[in-house]
Amino acid sequence: MKAKPMRIHAPAIPHIPVIIIGGGQAGLSVSWYLSRDGIDHLVFERHQRFHSWRVNRWDSFCLVTPNWQCRLPGWPYQGTDPDGYMLRDEIVEYLEGFSASFDPPLREGVSVTRVAPLPGGGYRVETTAGIWTTGQVIVATGGYDQPIVPPYAGAIAPQIVQMHSVDYRRPSQLPGGGTLIVGTGQSGVQIMEDFHREGREVHLAVGPAPRSPRKYRGRDATDWLYDMGHYAITIDRHPDPVKALTQTNHYMSGRDGGKEIDLRKFARDGVRLYGSMSGAAGVDIEFLPDLEKNLDDSDRSYCGIRDQIDAWIDRQGIDAPVEPPFEKVWRPGQEVTRIDCAALGITSIIWAIGFRPNYSWLEVDCFDAHGRPVYRRGVTEAPGVYFIGLGWLNTWGSGRFLGIDEDARYLAERIVERAGVTPEVQVAE
């Protein structure tokens, strides 16, 4: 009798109820709550935990918000300087302590290459370490995937060294001569100060970023704003949500115990300021004639925060020292709209104009026409898909150490609710 051929069945793809993509502070904060609640899950991190803090920060980097705002789940700041600003290595130490406090189920060095819905519900998650199925997916990759460089950067003369802020560590990386820094968000102004402190020739293309006081009327401005409830304002109660979602963060510094950045003072002390960079070819750089407008708008933001704090102090009857009125110590003369880098001795450019997220791997219907994720408090309309770690996910504190705990707790509650009805999905490979 002829034997029947043996049928070999492909092994079932392993299933895990919840998968978190991203092993930074946001993803691990959700993991902390899921671990506490006994929800089986995995965290995939394409690099090493806290990679962006450990690798993608310059040597002098420090927080711009006080240490007391570091309030990760079960792991508030426990150091001796709550009103100080942790340096890069201290931030990493704090985060490592948080991770060690609960030992998350983390797979490092694993990139997620595709997430797609399954016909019967749930999702197929493809990674460089294999394939899983899951009922729920938390996207905690942040918004800093792709460094932004303008298209005309390719037309700049090859002898001018170009670098994005993500690769910047210290001024000695760049050749001698002048450096043009493009962008005045928190990265741009702090890198500018790095060069200025070392006596390097600095040129700065000033964009529309707003600025904030640092210490005002005896306290850090962020302390006043916290007491005033600004960090608790939700995006659906914000008077201008579109502006909130698109505006660059206010710039200031935590360096030297905390200080504000007044670009007019730096200009008075030798930094060359221009308007927004608008084009380049060879050694020629072009700028918009908007320097004075950008400086004025930045100061308007600065003075507006001071006015709000003054009003709060008056309403509460608080005894606080009085500050002198703001004074513009420098004004631009005729706007410079074109420079010759060779003539000015500019040998390098640092792009500090931000990043774009990359969600090309997420094949889920949860984006608007511009490719931005659509959610309410991180919960999308796609069943079991969530986002965390993004600015204004719910409040001004979202995306910062101060607000991550609240956001993570809320998402974990939604995940636990759904876990009670999420079917175990098993499919053959």
Asked if residue 197 and residue 124 are part of one domain, the reply reads: no
Asked if residue 229 and residue 164 are part of one domain, the reply reads: yes
Residue at a domain's end among 306, 339, 354: 354
Q: Give per-residue pLDDT as tens, 299-318.
A: 999 999 999 999 999 999 99
Identify the band that residue 427 occupies on the pLDDT scale cut at 50, 70 and 90: very low
Asked if residue 380 and residue 345 are part of one domain, the reply reads: no
End-to-end CA distance of the chain: 33
H-state helical runs in 247-389 = 263-268, 291-316, 341-344
Asked if residue 101 and residue 122 are part of one domain, the reply reads: yes
The distance from CA 232 to its chain's CA centroid, rounded to whole angstroms, is: 19
Asked if residue 201 and residue 73 are part of one domain, the reply reads: no
Distance, in Å, from the CA atom of 348 to the CA atom of 345, rounded to the nearest integer, reads 9
What local confidence, expressed as pLDDT, does residue 6 receive?
63
Q: What is the mean pLDDT of residues 49-64?
A: 96
Q: Give per-residue pLDDT as tens, 198-220.
A: 999 999 999 999 999 999 999 99
What local confidence, expressed as pLDDT, does residue 425 receive?
43
Asked if residue 372 and residue 288 are part of one domain, the reply reads: no
- Outline where DSSP puts E strands in 175-238: 178-182, 202-205, 215-216, 219-220
Q: Give per-residue pLDDT as tens, 385-425.
A: 999 999 999 998 898 899 999 999 999 999 999 987 443 44
In a domain, 159, yes or no: yes
Q: What is the mean pLDDT of residues 13-27?
A: 97
What local confidence, expressed as pLDDT, does residue 419 receive?
85
* CA dihedral sign of residues 146, 148, 152, 154: negative
In a domain, 429, yes or no: no
Range of the domain at 192: 149-318+330-354
What local confidence, expressed as pLDDT, does residue 10 receive?
58
In what side-by-side order are the strands of the sheet with 338-340?
A: 277-281, 284-287, 338-340
- Residue 246, pLDDT above cutoff 90: no
**pLDDT higher for 2 or 206?**
206
Pairing of strands 123-127, 130-139: antiparallel
Q: What is the mean pLDDT of residues 352-368?
A: 96
Asked if residue 272 and residue 132 are part of one domain, the reply reads: no
Q: Give per-residue pLDDT as tens, 115-141.
A: 999 999 999 999 999 999 999 999 999
**pLDDT higher for 248 or 362?**
362
Distance, in Å, from the CA atom of 11 to the CA atom of 274, rounded to the nearest integer, reads 62
Contacts (Cβ under 8 Å, ≥6 apart) of 362:
115, 139
**pLDDT higher for 65 or 7?**
65
CATH number for the domain spanning 118: value is 3.50.50.60
Q: What is the mean pLDDT of residues 38-66?
A: 96
Asked if residue 280 and residue 162 are part of one domain, the reply reads: yes
Angle at which helices 25-36 and 88-100 cross, to 10° = 20
Q: By the 8 A CB rule, do 131 and 12 touch?
A: no
Asked if residue 190 and residue 133 are part of one domain, the reply reads: no
Identify the band that residue 241 occupies on the pLDDT scale cut at 50, 70 and 90: confident
Q: Give per-residue pLDDT as tens, 139-152.
A: 999 988 899 999 99
Distance, in Å, from the CA atom of 335 to the CA atom of 203, rounded to the nearest integer, reads 14
Helix or strand holding residue 416 (H, E): helix 401-419
Could you identify the residue written with the tokens 């206010």?
250
Q: By the 8 A CB rule, do 185 and 179 touch?
A: no
What local confidence, expressed as pLDDT, does residue 429 receive?
41
Residue 39 is encoded by which pair of tokens? 């929800």
Q: What is the mean pLDDT of residues 165-180?
A: 98
In our burial notation (b when 16+ CB lie closer than 10 A, e otherwise), range 399-419 reads bbbbbbbbbbebbbeebeebb
- The number of domains in the chain is 2
Pairing of strands 41-45, 277-281: unpaired
Return left, alpha or beta for 310; rule: phi > 0 is left, psi -120 to 50 is alpha, else beta: alpha
- Residue 7, pLDDT above cutoff 90: no
Asked if residue 107 and residue 141 are part of one domain, the reply reads: yes
Q: Give per-residue pLDDT as tens, 98-122.
A: 999 999 999 999 999 999 999 999 9
∠198-286-336 over CA atoms, to 5°?
70
Residue 331 is encoded by which pair of tokens? 């004004």
